[in-house]
A and B are shown apart, each in its own frame.
Chain A
């Protein structure tokens, strides 16, 4: 099969072009480096099925600086039959420099001059006819997000595929930049000085207060709207009652009462009833936990974070906090994987690929595994703590932040490697497109249902079975010295600890049903243990894939040890204090 390689700078809409052509759901977002792992798909050129590969967005291939540039250079070395170069109309200079480097490979090239809508709205004009003449390859003005003119790109590709190029013009860096400048002068008609109206967002004041405000708003939105969804929509649906607090005067019978009645009608067998609707009955808990307790927060978190991504606000937070994060051995860019970690650890760990050094990657991955609760776990914390003691809930978040700082400081001291310097472009702010945004949020929710909720249902089913068989009880007895003696929790608490290995929130959720037998202090102990406890199985797998089995095992040991240490210390201190008081 013949192949076309897509190349271009980071953040120019390559993924959007790719999605338009292949119909695949690759991610489209507005911060550098979303496509470090490249996407591949097929598309149709005049009846021929052609392989389309999307190289990571990069600035140059002659002197690769990082993983992404090495990957892109390798993909070009594989000699595709044509290159589709996505040229950023907003950033002609760097795009041309990369394009000239790519053209030195002597592969037929088509240029899509992308983001022409933004170019026009900013008063920039590029003479694409002259550009085509100067470059000697077809140049098609496009708007990838709306799919405008992509059929012309396809046509141009059909003409170029299979052509051979005889003369290749190779230049050294200085000469290439000269050529870039001269092409730019000949084709760029107007470049008005930026009015700097949005510059205040990247000045320490008011930029930092605004950034903190935005993050607080994000979490307020995630928690507030999530709780609302659960209270007024999902709980009535599952448990019966009136939707939207009686706004619609119609009482829904509810799914769970129906399931319970049906199971009771179908079987008298106590064991079977137990597995289906008992303590860990998976027809009840297997639906309630993933869909009523966790899903609302998954929806609100990904809505919030996707808006911030698409607006292009996150790199601004990164730059504002860069100096502060350097103090704990991280840099500004690590804020993006860390924020993603509040959604799910897996994309967070994968997005550490955009960080420059291995040291940074391991540090951020460890912090995400150790101290950052994923959205499912956060939903569980909200259900467990916020409704009982808001103070305890805020306490858990403070502990999490202190742990991030401490982990950073310790690892920075331990790893002698220097933190790499910061050098990054801050992409322009964009108004998010509702159609793209909703597609992305839906994609992420689907991902949660498939890769998060389904394993959870299976784990709950397994737990239900083991519970009925008495295996959980036996395991609980084995763990009980630690659980009752050190953590001051009842013996039943060992079950969630065992289940937590599969999914992080499963360490938290079973405690909700133990509400009557636990004090607030015990709740807090359980939450502390859960916060630091083992990352889920999928995260451990991701860690060993991204780094090594040794690193994954190390992180696993570290998190488990920290969980029991911190939880136990709190429990013992609390016991000591309440005895003396």
Chain B
């Protein structure tokens, strides 16, 4: 497997990879790497998908993401296994 790049520059814009729970409210990113879980895929959490963080629930509750106009609640533990690529 080729080593995961942490920085990519496309047309002068820098993209950075990170865990999906590093997003802040309202931030937009693209899914970069995701565990193969059929329910994740069905809920739209798939490679290359554009996601927006709606909120992080209290007491280490789930992240709430907006993907293609759907709202999905995603457990923190699972979220830590998903990497995204975001503009910076």
Q: Could you tell me which A residues sit within 8 Å of B by CB distance?
A: 59-60, 62-63, 65, 90-91, 93-94, 97-98, 122, 173, 177, 191-194, 196, 199, 202-204, 207-208, 319-324, 326-327, 332, 421-426, 428
Contact = CB atoms under 8 A, between A and B. Distances in A.
A202 B38 contact: no
Interface string B19-54: 000000100000000001011111110100000001
A177 B38 contact: no
A322 B25 CA distance: 18
B57 A323 contact: yes
B60 interface: yes
Nearest to B71: A426
A208 B68 CA distance: 25
Nearest to B48: A181
Nearest to B25: A203
A63 B38 contact: yes
Given A199-B55, A319-B64, A425-B72, 9 more contacts: A59-B42, A91-B70, A97-B42, A177-B41, A204-B56, A332-B62, A422-B62, A423-B72, A424-B73
Nearest to A97: B42
Contact of B44 (A93, A204, A207): A93
Contacts of B25: 203
A323 B62 contact: yes
A332 B72 CA distance: 13
Interface residues of B, number: 31
Given A93-B44, A422-B75, A323 B55 contact: no
A191 B71 contact: no
Most buried by A among B54, B58, B62: B62
B49 to A, nearest CB: 10
A333 to B, nearest CB: 10
Query: Which residue, A98, A323, A327, has most C-beta atoms of chain B within 10 A?
Result: A323
A186 B62 CA distance: 34
B69 interface: yes
A60 B72 contact: no
B66 A425 contact: no
B-side interface mostly = mixed
Contacts of B46: 177
Contacts of A177: 41, 46
A196 B38 contact: no
A203 B54 contact: yes
Contact of A196 (B43, B54, B70): B54
Nearest to A188: B68
Given A191-B69, A423-B73, A319 B54 contact: no
A173 B39 contact: no
B66 A60 contact: no
Given A319-B62, A323-B59, A421 B44 contact: no
A426 B64 contact: yes
A425 B43 CA distance: 7
Contacts of B56: 204
B61 A94 contact: no
Contact of A204 (B58, B70, B72): B58
Contacts of B64: 202, 319, 426
A327 B59 CA distance: 8
B38 A62 contact: yes
B74 A422 contact: yes
B73 A332 contact: yes
B78 interface: yes
Contacts of B74: 422-423
Given A194-B66, A421-B75, A424-B72, A60 B42 contact: yes
16 contacts: A59-B42, A94-B44, A199-B55, A202-B55, A202-B71, A203-B54, A320-B58, A321-B61, A322-B73, A421-B78, A422-B61, A422-B73, A423-B74, A425-B43, A425-B71, A425-B73
A322 B62 contact: yes
Contacts of B59: 323-324, 326-327
A421 B54 CA distance: 19
B73 A173 contact: no
A202 B63 CA distance: 10
A470 B36 CA distance: 69
A329 to B, nearest CB: 13
A579 B65 CA distance: 60
A188 to B, nearest CB: 10
Interface string B69-88: 11111110110000000000
A324 B61 contact: yes
B78 to A, nearest CB: 5
A65 B38 CA distance: 8
A91 B61 CA distance: 25
A179 B41 CA distance: 14
Contacts of B57: 204, 319-320, 322-323
Nearest to B26: A196
